[in-house]
Chain A
């Protein structure tokens, strides 16, 4: 095992027993005191004695170890991501020269905009290839290209996602907290409202978080974001003024917006609603949706990801089913699935 299993929150690092963590990846401060100041009634997991906690954690880790990512089995993420990215790029000249009609390309671009975050997410956690291994190059390559269609640079994505894990549901410190909404309809509306120029949500909120963090990595992420935004806008404007506004709209701009809304809803709002838990076993919910496992991007079992980010998305369902009795003892509401 070349990586830590757990994704410990602040409380966990002080509690239970010390485990190696990925917290070194996170540059944020933890002395903000937001939790103490909160007016929310936070949900808490049941109190268990230390012996029981340790025993359950050991069992949990034994299950998790079986499902951790294997770089050789993660190659499919690399192949699909780079293949889809290449195909998306090829669609620009193919539609500009009217070799293929624009509507199937629009559907494909929307699909990769919505689903492309999944391989990028694996890359953020270095599940495709750990540093120092021959797979790491491909891990970074996948991360760099997977969310370009969203105009979302990998440096920002990784830093903000690590911050989300470490400060999950914290109103001040969790970069994704602004996705919170009272119900599903409002959550979809909020995905749009948060992207408005004057709103403090989505990438605007991320920029503010990065400025607050202020580390060299955060500055790099801010720089990358500015350059990517300007470059993407320049590309869109050039296409549009060259007579290819429909191509720019249906291959890039509209898929980006649809993809972002889909991602924000399924990957942020749905698994963390109602954002009333700050602890390891309360910050993510188990839920069942009529759209099913695939269309919800596997998010019904997102709790497993927050407990063990090294388990790839396609394996969280199976890890959850095996881990379920342990999670129930920990106080997780597993009644939905």
Chain B
């Protein structure tokens, strides 16, 4: 059971990586360069949208680019 849960988690790893790592990295990069998020979003909300979408793309397409 535990192994099955881990396998499922790993299957979704690109998406999880998108929200777990790319999202905060995007937000912190924008803060470092003093860039505001568009559409009145907070930086982390924009990061979540961007990272989540990119991770989902990687999950579906099987590649990041």
Q: Which residues of A contact B (CB under 8 A)?
A: 193, 196-199, 223, 226-227, 229-230, 233, 236-237, 240-241, 243, 245-246, 248-249, 253
Contact = CB atoms under 8 A, between A and B. Distances in A.
Contacts of B23: 240
Contacts of A233: 13, 16-17, 20-21
Given A233-B20, A236-B20, A246-B28, A197 B62 contact: yes
Contacts of A197: 13-14, 58-59, 62-64
Contact of B6 (A230, A240, A248): A230
10 closest Cβ contacts across the A-B interface?
A198-B62, A237-B20, A196-B63, A245-B25, A240-B24, A245-B28, A245-B24, A197-B14, A240-B21, A226-B6
Interface string B1-16: 0010011011001101
Contacts, number: 61
Given A233-B16, A240-B20, A241-B20, A226 B28 contact: no
Which bracket fits the contact residues of B?
A: 20 to 34
Nearest to A197: B14
Nearest to A225: B10
A249 B20 contact: no
Contact of A240 (B10, B25, B58): B25
B24 to A, nearest CB: 4
Interface of B: 3, 6-7, 9-10, 13-14, 16-17, 20-21, 23-25, 27-29, 32, 58-59, 61-64
A230 B3 CA distance: 12
Contact of B25 (A227, A230, A249): A249
Nearest to A222: B3
A260 to B, nearest CB: 14
Given A230-B6, A236-B20, A240-B21, A198 B13 contact: no
9 contacts: A196-B63, A197-B14, A197-B58, A199-B63, A236-B21, A240-B28, A241-B20, A241-B24, A245-B24
A196 B25 contact: no
B28 to A, nearest CB: 4
Q: Is the interface of A mostly helix, strand, loop or mixed?
A: helix
Contacts of A243: 24, 28
Contacts of B62: 196-199
A214 to B, nearest CB: 15
Contacts of A240: 20-21, 23-25, 28
A246 B30 CA distance: 12
A196 B9 contact: no
Nearest to B62: A198
A226 B64 CA distance: 21
Contacts of A248: 21, 25
A103 B58 CA distance: 29
Best-buried of A197, A198, A243 by chain B (most CB within 10 Å): A197
A227 B29 CA distance: 30
Contacts of B61: 198
Nearest to A243: B28
A249 B26 CA distance: 11
A66 to B, nearest CB: 47
Given A197-B63, A198-B62, A245-B28, A237 B21 contact: yes
Find the residue from B23, B24, B59 having the highest chain A CB count within 10 A: B24
Nearest to B65: A196
